[in-house]
């Protein structure tokens, strides 16, 4: 499974926001500078998190982004799905029915074993990510990391 670079941005961004005191906001510009990533692209990803109900965004001098719900209720799967979608990355094109070695149609009534294995792997990956929350990630961080991020973004 290969995810776009922006997925990493979203995962780290949401994790940093989860480290801030409840109700705190942080701007896209602050986050962009904090991670050294392109502001316009990060802003597009943050907008996807707002549309997915993971973040809320406000404008104005004290505006910015904050979590829309408790970090215990935001899974890593929620974040990945919000920016990358939920589609299975493996697409079976029924190669077994093509070319000189084509199988007969009546032998292909069930999904091929490869497609079934890839689907099972995708579902296992999704289940694994669904069981990891932002709260769990933050709980595993050293206190010094949280203090540093709060100082830099507060």
**Above 80 in pLDDT, residue 86?**
yes
Asked if 139 and 18 touch (Cβ cutoff 8 Å), the reply is no
Task: Answer whether 0.95 is exceeded by the pTM.
Answer: no
pLDDT confidence band for 1 (50 / 70 / 90): low
Asked if 42 and 32 touch (Cβ cutoff 8 Å), the reply is yes
Q: Given the structure tokens 């094109």, which residue do they identify?
A: 93
8-state DSSP, 78: H
d(CA 33, CA 55): 19
Tokens of 7: 């997925």
Q: What is the pLDDT of residue 122?
A: 93
Per the document, the length of the chain is: 154
d(CA 31, CA 42): 8
**Above 90 in pLDDT, residue 78?**
yes
pLDDT tens digits along 13-40? 999 999 999 889 999 999 999 999 999 9
**Above 90 in pLDDT, residue 90?**
no
pLDDT tens digits along 106-134? 988 998 999 999 999 999 999 999 999 99
d(CA 8, CA 153): 19
Q: Which residues of 122-140 are buried (b: 16+ CB within 10 A; e: fewer)?
A: beeebeeeeeebbeebbee
**Above 90 in pLDDT, residue 139?**
yes
Tokens of 116: 């079934």
d(CA 23, CA 62): 12
pLDDT tens digits along 34-59? 999 999 999 999 999 999 999 999 88
């Amino acid at each position: 499974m290969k995810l776009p670079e922006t997925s990493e941005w979203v995962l780290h961004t949401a994790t940093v926001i989860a480290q801030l005191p409840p109700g705190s906001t942080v701007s896209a510009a602050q986050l962009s500078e904090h991670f050294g990533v392109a502001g316009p692209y990060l802003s597009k990803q943050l907008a996807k998190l707002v549309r997915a109900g993971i973040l809320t965004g406000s404008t104005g001098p004290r505006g910015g982004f904050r979590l829309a719900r408790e970090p215990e209720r935001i899974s890593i799967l929620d974040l990945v799905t919000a920016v990358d979608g939920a589609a299975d990355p493996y697409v079976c094109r029924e190669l077994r029915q093509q070319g000189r070695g084509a199988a007969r149609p009546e032998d292909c009534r069930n999904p091929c074993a490869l497609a079934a294995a890839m689907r099972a792997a995708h579902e296992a990956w999704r289940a694994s990510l669904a069981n990891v929350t932002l709260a769990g990630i933050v709980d595993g961080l050293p206190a010094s990391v949280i203090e540093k991020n709060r100082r830099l973004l507060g």
